Amino acid sequence: MLQKSITAPIISVSGLSKTYENGFQALKSVDLEIRESEILALLGPNGAGKTTMISIICGLANPSTGTVTVAGHDIRRDFRAARSLIGLVPQELHTESFETVWATVSFSRGLFGKPANPKLIEQILRDLTLWDKKDNKVIELSGGMKRRLMIAKALSHEPRILFLDEPTAGVDVELRKDMWQLIHKLRETGVTVILTTHYIEEAEEMADRIGVINKGEMLLIEEKSELMRKLGRKQLTLELREPVEALPEALGRYDLELTNEGQRLIYTYDTQAARTGITSLLADLNRSGIAVRDLETSSSSLEDIFVSIVRDRS
């Protein structure tokens, strides 16, 4: 653990701002440190600035202010060294081509000056369920296959860092699960993965850390488990035997909400607290003569947490 915290970040972003030519400010002084071999998920609504940030880190767009280093290489001064460590799967697909799948992926590796490695290309195509399409022309692929081809291209030069800008948009559920597996496998070999997604369950499933961007600002970045623990709340829903008009004063110390015309009581409690307070709440209800017919607990998902963060700050 300590070891991890003293390791230099593989990517360091500092004071990064971007104002487009039309005057629109898409990023506002973003600071971000990405650790080696973590999976970082970036969440944010449409237009938040995710693609802009990725494009700058990958050296495809210039920042207005700020710096980015990749494994110590400044992305502008040392572009080639920095870029050679990165595999990028862009959000927009540009794959209209009469080349075959095999040629496209092999060529991609060559572009980075790496020697041919048919075994590796085969493994990548198999991992992405594209092997039986290897001799097909790219224009003959479906949308989901094209997206997987983009991933194959990005992996062809064995990058240490992989950026996936909405990797699973348009990919069916089963293949999406295969893709998650592949990404986990890559991480085990030491690859650092940064992905953006609109599927919150994808972030919940995959990420070690989660960053939330809105309107060009990094609202928070945190370990997923910590985020869920800190912001996750649990609710206990109590169906009452008889409706009550108001809550007795004896119950004033609990966070309670009476709904459903007095038939339902919702108790919200903190998952971090040492005690949930459920036992004493039930005892106090009993003492106040309120009988409970049924009860159920539920916990907030990452989605609830995300929605509340973005709503509070907009």
Ligand X SMILES: Nc1ncnc2c1ncn2[C@@H]1O[C@H](COP(=O)(O)OP(=O)(O)OP(=O)(O)O)[C@@H](O)[C@H]1O
Contact residues: Mg ion, CB under 5 A: 50-51, 91
Binding of ligand X at residue 314 (CB under 6 A)? no
| Identity of the residue, 19 or 91, whose beta carbon is nearer to Mg ion in the bound complex | 91
Question: Contact at 8 Å (CB) between 165 and 48?
Answer: no
Q: Which of 5, 22, 189, 314 binds ligand X (CB under 6 A)?
A: 22
Beta strands in the chain (DSSP E): 11-19, 25-34, 39-43, 65-70, 73-74, 86-89, 161-165, 192-196, 209-214, 217-223, 233-240, 256-259, 264-270, 292-299
Kindly state whether residue 20 participates in binding ligand X, applying the rule CB under 6 A: yes
The dihedral over CA atoms of 284, 285, 289, 291, expressed in degrees to the nearest 10, equals: -150
Residue 48 binding ligand X, by CB under 6 A? yes
The SS3 call for residue 117 is: coil
Alpha-carbon dihedral 27, 28, 33, 36, rounded to 10 degrees: 0
Nearer to ligand X, 53 or 155 (CB): 53
Q: Tell me which stretch binds ligand X (CB under 6 A): 41-49, 119-127, 263-271, 278-286.
A: 41-49
**Distance between CA 302 and CA 148 in Å, rounded?**
26
For ligand X, the closer of residues 56 and 182 by Cβ is 56
Residue nearest to Mg ion (CB): 51
Q: How far is the CB of 120 from ligand X (least distance, A)?
A: 31
Q: Which is nearer to ligand X, 44 or 59 (CB)?
A: 44
Exposure b/e, 70-98, CB count within 10 A at least 16 = b: bbebebeeeeeebbbbbbbbbbeeebeee
Confirm or reject binding of residue 91 to ligand X (CB under 6 A).
yes
Select from 31-39, 49-57, 92-100, 225-233 the region that touches ligand X (CB under 6 A).
49-57
Residue 197 makes contact with ligand X by CB under 6 A: no
- Rounded to a whole number of angstroms, the minimum distance from the CB of residue 7 to Mg ion is 29
Crossing angle, helix 302-313 and helix 224-231, to 10 degrees? 70
Question: Which residue in the set 3, 5, 6, 46 belongs to the binding site for ligand X (CB under 6 A)?
Answer: 46
Pick between residue 51 and residue 197 the one whose CB is nearest to Mg ion.
Answer: 51
Q: Which of 8, 33, 47, 181 binds ligand X (CB under 6 A)?
A: 47
* 189/60 Cα distance (integer angstroms): 27
Q: How far is CA 41 from the centre of its chain?
A: 2
**Which stretch, 46-54, 100-108, 177-185, 274-282, contacts ligand X (CB under 6 A)?**
46-54
Tell the smallest beta-carbon distance from residue 299 to ligand X (Å). 27
Residues of this chain that interact with ligand X (CB under 6 A) are 20, 22, 24, 26, 44, 46-52, 91
